[in-house]
Protein backbone atom coordinates (compact mmCIF):
# COMPACT_ATOMS: atom_id res chain seq x y z
CA UNK A 1 0.00 0.00 0.00
CA UNK A 2 1.33 3.40 -0.99
CA UNK A 3 1.03 5.67 2.07
CA UNK A 4 1.44 8.84 -0.02
CA UNK A 5 -1.38 7.76 -2.32
CA UNK A 6 -3.65 7.16 0.69
CA UNK A 7 -2.77 10.53 2.24
CA UNK A 8 -3.42 12.34 -1.02
CA UNK A 9 -6.80 10.68 -1.45
CA UNK A 10 -7.87 11.54 2.11
CA UNK A 11 -6.65 15.13 1.72
CA UNK A 12 -8.54 15.43 -1.57
CA UNK A 13 -11.75 14.15 0.04
CA UNK A 14 -11.37 16.60 2.95
CA UNK A 15 -10.76 19.46 0.51
CA UNK A 16 -14.21 18.82 -0.98
CA UNK A 17 -15.81 20.22 2.18
CA UNK A 18 -18.56 18.40 4.01
CA UNK A 19 -19.24 14.82 3.02
CA UNK A 20 -22.05 14.28 0.49
CA UNK A 21 -25.53 13.67 1.84
CA UNK A 22 -28.69 12.01 0.60
CA UNK A 23 -31.99 13.76 -0.09
CA UNK A 24 -32.79 13.73 3.64
CA UNK A 25 -29.53 15.37 4.69
CA UNK A 26 -27.93 12.16 6.00
CA UNK A 27 -24.27 11.57 5.21
CA UNK A 28 -23.90 8.80 2.64
CA UNK A 29 -22.77 5.36 3.78
CA UNK A 30 -19.14 4.32 3.40
CA UNK A 31 -20.08 2.12 0.42
CA UNK A 32 -21.87 5.01 -1.23
CA UNK A 33 -18.99 7.39 -0.51
CA UNK A 34 -16.52 4.95 -2.08
CA UNK A 35 -18.64 5.00 -5.23
CA UNK A 36 -19.29 8.76 -5.05
CA UNK A 37 -15.57 9.48 -5.07
CA UNK A 38 -14.84 6.76 -7.67
CA UNK A 39 -12.52 4.79 -5.40
CA UNK A 40 -13.75 1.23 -5.92
CA UNK A 41 -11.97 0.60 -9.19
CA UNK A 42 -8.66 2.35 -8.56
CA UNK A 43 -7.61 0.89 -5.20
CA UNK A 44 -6.37 -2.51 -4.10
CA UNK A 45 -8.26 -4.43 -1.42
CA UNK A 46 -5.94 -3.23 1.34
CA UNK A 47 -6.15 0.35 0.14
CA UNK A 48 -9.94 0.18 0.03
CA UNK A 49 -10.00 -1.10 3.60
CA UNK A 50 -7.75 1.77 4.73
CA UNK A 51 -9.87 4.40 2.96
CA UNK A 52 -13.08 2.84 4.33
CA UNK A 53 -11.74 3.19 7.88
CA UNK A 54 -10.78 6.79 7.21
CA UNK A 55 -14.22 7.53 5.78
CA UNK A 56 -15.89 5.95 8.81
CA UNK A 57 -13.82 8.21 11.07
CA UNK A 58 -14.67 11.25 8.95
CA UNK A 59 -18.39 10.42 9.14
CA UNK A 60 -18.19 9.98 12.89
CA UNK A 61 -16.35 13.29 13.32
CA UNK A 62 -18.80 15.17 11.10
CA UNK A 63 -21.79 13.76 12.99
CA UNK A 64 -20.21 14.67 16.34
CA UNK A 65 -19.70 18.25 15.16
CA UNK A 66 -23.32 18.44 14.04
CA UNK A 67 -24.49 17.19 17.44
CA UNK A 68 -22.31 19.79 19.17
CA UNK A 69 -23.80 22.54 17.02
CA UNK A 70 -27.31 21.35 17.82
CA UNK A 71 -26.61 21.18 21.54
CA UNK A 72 -25.42 24.79 21.49
CA UNK A 73 -28.79 25.84 20.09
CA UNK A 74 -30.76 24.09 22.82
CA UNK A 75 -31.01 25.65 26.31
Model confidence pLDDT, tens digit, residues 13-50: 999 999 999 999 999 999 999 999 999 989 999 999 99
In whole angstroms, give the CA distance from residue 30 to residue 59: 8
Query: Whole-prediction pTM value?
Result: 0.86
Q: How confident is the model at residue 75 (pLDDT cuts 50, 70, 90)?
A: low
Domain count, the chain: 1
Q: Encode 4-34: b = buried (16+ Cβ within 10 Å), e = exposed.
A: eebeebbeebeeeeebeeeeeeebbebeebb
Rounded Cα distance, 62 and 17, in Å: 11
Report d(CA 34, CA 52) in Å as an integer: 8
Q: Whole domain around residue 7: which residue ranges?
A: 3-73
Amino acid sequence: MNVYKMRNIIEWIRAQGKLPTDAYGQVLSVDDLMGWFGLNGCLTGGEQLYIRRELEAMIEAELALEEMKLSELLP
